[in-house]
Amino acid sequence: MGKGKNVILCVDDEKTVLDTLQHQLKSIFDDKYLIEIAASAEEALEVLDDLDSVDIETILIITDWQMPGMKGDEFLVQVKKYENKMIKILLTGQAPQKALHRAFMEGGLDHYIQKPWEKEELKAKIISLK
């Protein structure tokens, strides 16, 4: 992990989604941020702990809701312990209203984007939330 660069963390159990997000974010931000990926919420929490231990700030989390093990809303509630100003986006096609409500109220969710998404919508949301 490159010291000094802030991180964008993408969390999804589908490799194609992670690959697409990584590609799109690199094209949006060039090399301004380090892009980290995690295939589960549990793995993402480990990445966050590792980054936190070396004082690298995660500025944006983009997560799916429907993942094996911990769901996206529960993950966002866990992320609250880091209490920094990271932007949180839920990118999903399957989250029930109750989970969305919990993600906003208890997890500090900033925005929800429906899958499939458009790169320009993602870019506009990230920029508007910065």
Q: In the predicted model, is pLDDT for residue 3 greater than 60?
A: no
Q: How confident is the model at residue 62 (pLDDT cuts 50, 70, 90)?
A: very high
**Where exactly are the structural domains of the chain?**
7-129
Per-residue burial over 86-96, b if 16 or more Cβ lie within 10 Å, else e, is bbbbbbbeebe
Residue 4 is predicted with a pLDDT of 67
pTM for this entry: 0.94
CATH architecture of 7-129: 3-Layer(aba) Sandwich (3.40)
